[in-house]
Chain A
Amino acid sequence: MSYVDIHDVGVTFGGNPILRNVTFNVDKAEVVSIIGPNGSGKTTLIRAMLGLIEHRGNVLLAGRPLRHQMERVGYVPQRFDFDRTFPLSVQEFLALAVKKADGEWRDEVLREFSVRPLLRQKLGTLSGGQMQRVLIASALMKQPEVMMLDEPTSGVDVEGVASFYELVRHINKEHEITVFLVSHEVNMVFKTSTKVVCLNKDLVCCGDPRKVITTEILDKLYGPDHELRVHDHSH
């Protein structure tokens, strides 16, 4: 039995299929990148897996429905809309979702994501990159076994993106956290992921990115005019 089983997941909005019969398995401590063009159902898949939207099929974590084991899952949403004039400090925000975080773990997360200097700042005054770091630190506070990151580098500059993927590799390797990552950075997917899931409403490909991402697959996902290139990773 795999660690995470996604079996026959489908989502329909107003009679229109958004996601059709998606099935794949993930082993513990894998980094799974979910790629595909806009509107391909990437965010929908993540939200269905978390039980945030109605869907068909099953999502199991260690043999039990994932939505009943939220204490084992950390989530960073694609968009985090809130009243930016509300005076919530970063320190308070980090304490919202977790009753009492383990002190040592909390210190490590704050250090790794450089959040400590931001603790007294108001959440609404953070830049895009700072906000992403705080959101990820918040999701990590409960020491999850699975992290779901929905386009975590949107609004982050190029250097920030590279260091972010470095951190993803770190939390995956050092803490054995299984990571699901919705991403547009195909090059980073090659470097970081152990598995890639290509979506275009249907499951187009699934497997080791070095093997399954081919020019044909990219054409199928993004159309023949895309500017993405398959890099040679054999050397």
Chain B
Amino acid sequence: MEHLIELFAPLYVQRALLAGVFSGALLAILGIFVALRKMAFFSDGIAHTSLTGVAIAVLLGQQPLAWAVGVGVVFAVLIYLLEKKTDIAPDSLIGILFTSSLALGVVLMNFKKGYQPDLLSFLFGNILTIRSEELRVIIPLSVVIGGFMVVRYRRYLLICLNEELSKVAGVWLEVHKLSLYVMLAVASILAIKMFGIILVSALLILPVSFGKLFARSARSLLVISMIFAEVIVVGGVALSLWRDLPTAATIVLTGTVLFVCGMAFSRLGGAE
């Protein structure tokens, strides 16, 4: 215990834990809708599109996070509009947009000579480098979006479950769909500094996948997913500091190990 307190004592570790706990909870909530609507590829794609934003910020010498969020939101709206107005399959649409944006980011980065620490931290994530000013963006946005989603949980569940029934129930389907896309883009991109463009979708998928093994209702799924996210963030950070391992990757692997254990437990009859 003493050793753990010692590990968590430095300010940069506390900042990392705070950012991870808030962002992890938000991604766990949104992950439920991602699973129900089968949108894992969307969130993965949106995270990748943010590289263009990071590249623009690096060239202009500005805050990468703000640019990444801005570009991500633009792409989320673009995907929503093209899905609505064209006959292109959503998977193809997302694939075209995210690879194009990734390619644009790489080309833009080419104009900036020398080592790019920001680029690497956005690609693979480094939760231990979270700054106070980033924390001041991540925490309020996570609270606002997460709180909104919990309050409107039933509405979003209905549109993800069946669009026609939600229309007949009088839900403003298109407004809810677009807002889900935008919130998912913001949440994914807020988290890429911590977990990386490549690993961020694991934080959306693992908690809900674990939760589905044990939950008997949508409400218990929400609770289990959020607890799971917090456990893997705190556990992963502690483990990475203790064994000097890359933090984001350790968080994801902690989640994978717990998920596999959960699956084995539920198969053995521990859960119905």
Contact = CB atoms under 8 A, between A and B. Distances in A.
Interface of A: 47, 50-52, 70-71, 73-75, 77, 80-83, 85-89, 91-93, 95-98, 120, 122, 138, 142
A188 B150 CA distance: 45
A97 B212 CA distance: 23
Contacts of A88: 157, 161, 217-218
Q: Which of A71, A74, A77, A96 has the most CB of B within 10 A?
A: A96
A52 B158 contact: no
Nearest to B168: A75
B169 interface: yes
Interface in B157-175: 157-158, 161-162, 164-170
Contacts, number: 77
Given A80-B162, A87-B215, A96 B157 contact: yes
Given A87-B218, A87-B220, A92-B219, A77 B165 contact: yes
Contacts of A97: 158, 165-166, 168-169
B27 to A, nearest CB: 18
B267 interface: no
A52 B218 contact: no
A96 B161 contact: yes
A92 B169 contact: no
A199 to B, nearest CB: 20
A86 B162 contact: no
B170 A71 contact: yes
A75 B215 contact: no
A82 B218 contact: no
A85 B212 contact: yes
Nearest to B211: A87
Nearest to B220: A87
Interface residues of B, number: 24
A73 B212 contact: no
A77 B164 CA distance: 8
A4 B217 CA distance: 39
A51 to B, nearest CB: 8
A50 B170 CA distance: 11
Given A70-B170, A73-B168, A82 B161 contact: yes
Nearest to A99: B154
13 contacts: A52-B164, A70-B167, A70-B169, A71-B170, A83-B35, A86-B212, A86-B221, A88-B218, A91-B217, A92-B157, A92-B219, A96-B158, A120-B216
A213 B218 CA distance: 47
A77 B170 CA distance: 16
Contact of B218 (A47, A89, A98): A89
B36 interface: yes
B216 A87 contact: yes
B84 interface: no
B38 interface: yes
Given A82-B161, A87-B212, A122-B216, A95 B170 contact: no
Interface string B239-265: 000000000000000000000000000
Contact of A52 (B36, B167, B212, B220): B167
B168 A50 contact: yes
